[in-house]
Structure 1
Amino acid sequence: MPIAIKDYTWEESEIDVHVTVPIKGNNSSKADLFSSDEYIKVNSPPYLFEVFLYAGVDDSKSVAQLGDGVIVFKLIKKEPGIWGQLSSSAQGDKDIMKAKRDDAVSEKHRRIEEEMEEKRRKKREKEKLALNEQMRLENAEKEKIYEIKQAEIRQATEEIEEFKRKHQQSGDPTHRHDDGDDEHEEDDEEITHSPEDKKALIDKLPPPRTRQNIAVMFTPRVFPTPMRESRVHEEDEWLRKQAEARRMPEIDDEDLSPEQRDPFWLKDKGDSFFKGGNFQAAINAYNTAIRLNGKVPAFYSNRGACHLKLRNFIKCVEDCSKAIELLTPPVPANASSRLRAHTRRGTAFCELELYAEGLQDYEAALKIEPKNEQLRHDAERIRHVIQGTTT
C-alpha cells in the first residue's frame, strides 16, 4: 500500500498556485508526475502524493520543476481569485475521487492525442511546404535552362544568318549588289556540259570494285542447341566422357572373336535380342559389353529394360541408377537417354510399391519432356495411388 506524502507546502496568489512536494523513495530521479486541470499526482514508490484541486487550473500553461529533492508545481488559475484551500471538499470521498481520477486521466489522454495530432498536422504542412518549395526551385531551374538554350539557339541562328549575308555579299557570283538599290537580281544561267566533258568526268571516276567471295568457316557443334557460355563446362565434360567411353579396350580373352571384342557390336546384338523377346540373351550380351567397357550408360539402361521385362525390379533399379550416374552432366545430347532411364527406374519402383520414389523419377522425366502427355498421365495415376484415391 503506498505511503501518502503529507509534508508538502503551497502558496497562492490571485493568478497562480505554487505547490512544493518533497521527493521520497529509493529512486526519486524517476518519479512519475501527472497533472490535469483539477488533479496533480507524484508517484515515487512507495510514496504517493495526490490532490484534487479546489478549482480548475490551465494545465497547458502550468509547469512542474524538479530539483534539490523537491518538485514545484506552478499552476495557473483559470479564474483569478483566492482559494483559501488547496484541495477540493470531495478529497475524502473515495468514490468521487476515483471518478475524478478516471476523468482526469481520460481528459489527459485526450489532450495528449489532440496535441500529437496537431504536431502531425503541422509536420504534414511543413513537408507540403517543403515539397512545394522544392518543386518551385526545380521549375525555376528548368525555366532558367530553357532560357539559356533559347538564347544559344537565337545566337546560333543570328551567326548563321550573318554568315550567309557576308557570303552573298562577297563571294557568290550569282548575286549582284547595286549601291543605289537594296534589291538583288539573280542571274538564272543554266550550266550545260558537252559530251566530251561528260566523258572526261566519267574517265576520272574510279573503277568499280571486283566481286569476291568470302569463305566463312563455322565451328562444328555436336549438340543441337545453340552454344551458351554457362553450359560450356558441362558439354565439354560430357564429350570427354563420351570419348573416353568409346576407346576400345584391349582384352586378353582368346575365347572372344574380333566382333565380340567390340562392346558396341555387343550392344547392337543385345538390342536385336531384346526386339526378338529373348531378354536373357540380351542381358548376356550387355553383360559382356559392360565387362569390356563399363562407362557407357546405354549398356546399363538397356540391361535395366531387360530386367524390367523379366520382373527383376531391384536389378532394374540398380542398372538405371548406374546409367543416370553416367549420364551426367545433363546436356541436350543425353536428354532422351536420361528420360528413358528415369521412366524405367520409376516403373520398377512402382512395381516394388515404392510409389514416392517412382513419382520422383516420373517428375524428373517430365522436366526433361514437359509436353509428354503419357508421362503426365502416368505421374498423375501414381499421385492418386499415394493419396489413396485409387488402387
Structure 2
Amino acid sequence: MPLQVSDYSWQQTKTAVFISVPLRGVCVRDADVFCTENYLKVNFPPFLFEVFLYAPIDEESSKAKIGNNTIIFTLHKKEVAMWDTLSVSGADKEMMQRIREKSILQAQERAKEATEAKAAARREDQKYTLNVMMKIEEEERKKIEDMKENERIKATKELEVWKERQRKAEEQKRFQRKEKSHQQEKQIEEERKKLKHKSLTRNSASRNLATKGRNSENIFFEKLKEDSIPAPRSVGSIQINFTPRAFPTALRESQVAEEEEWLHKQAEAQRAMNTDIPELCDLKEEEKNPEWLKDKGNTLFATENYLAAINAYNLAIRLNNKIPLLYLNRAACHLKLKNLHKAIEDSSKAYRIMKLHLRLIHPTKLYKMMLRRFGI
C-alpha cells in the first residue's frame, strides 16, 4: 500500500495556486503525474500524493517542475478568486471515487481527441504530400512533353532544311546543265562564224577550195549531230527452244507411271504446304490472295482500325513475304499505335526487299517515299 504524502505546502493568488511536494530521494523518471481540472495526483513509489482541488483549474496551461528532490506545481485557476482550502472539505470515499473516475474519463477523452487530431493532422500531411508529389509529377510530365515537342520541331526543321538543300542542289544542277548547253551552243556558233569568215575571205578564183570548205563545214555539223543523237537500236527477235522432258530409261524398262505418281504427290504436297496456315482453313478463295488482303488492310487503315489492319497485313505477309508494300503499310499502322521499334523493323525489312529487287534504289529516294507514305 503506498504512503500518503502529507508534508506538502501550498500558496495561492487570485489567478494561480503553487504546490510544493517533496520527492524524498525518489528518481525523477519514476514520478508519474496525473492532472485534471478537479484532481491532481503524483505517484512516485512507494509514495503517493493526491488532492481533490477546491475549484476547477486550467490543466492545459498548468505546469509542473521537478528538481532538487521536489516537485512544484503552478496551477492556473479558471475563475479569479481566493480559495478557502486546497482540497474539497467533507468529501467521502464515494465522492472521491466519482471524482477519480470522472478525471480518468476526461483524461481518456482528451487522449482520444489528441489521437484523432494527430491522425487528422497526419492525413492532412499525407494529402498535402500527395498533392505536392502529383504537382511534381505533372511538372515532370509537362517537361518531358515539352522536350518531345521541341525535339519534334527540331526534327521537322532539320527535315525542311534538308529538303531546301536538295531543292537548291537540283536547281544548281539544272543551272549547270543549262550553262553547259549554252556554252556548247556558243562554241558551235563561234565555229560557224569562223568557217563563214574563212569562206568569205578566200579568193574568188579558188572556188573549188571554197566548195571543199563548205563540204567540210557540212561534214562538221553532221558529225556534231551524230555525236549528239544516239543511233537507233537494231530490231531483232530471239527464238527460245525448250527441250522436252525425257526419261533416262528405255520405254520397255521405263517407270513412267511411277514418275507421274511421284509428280502428282509433289503437287499434292505443295498444295498441302499452302494450307499449313490454320487461318486459311476457313477463308474464302479470294481472301487467300495477298493483294486482296493488302486492299482490305488499306480500307481498315483508312477507318483508323489499326489492329485489324495489322492482322490483315500479317496474314498477307505469311502468304507472300516478298512484297515490300505490305511491310511499309504495317509500319504505318505501328507508327499510328506508337510502336516505334516495330515500325522501324518493318521499314528496314521493306528497304532490304526493295534493295534486293531493285539494287539501284538510293536510300534518299526510299526515305522520301517512306515520308510520303507516312504522311510526314
TM over 0.5: no
TM-score bucket of the superposed structures, by smaller chain? 0.3 to 0.5
Larger radius of gyration: 2
TM-score normalised to structure 2 length: 0.44
Give the structure-1-normalised TM-score: 0.42
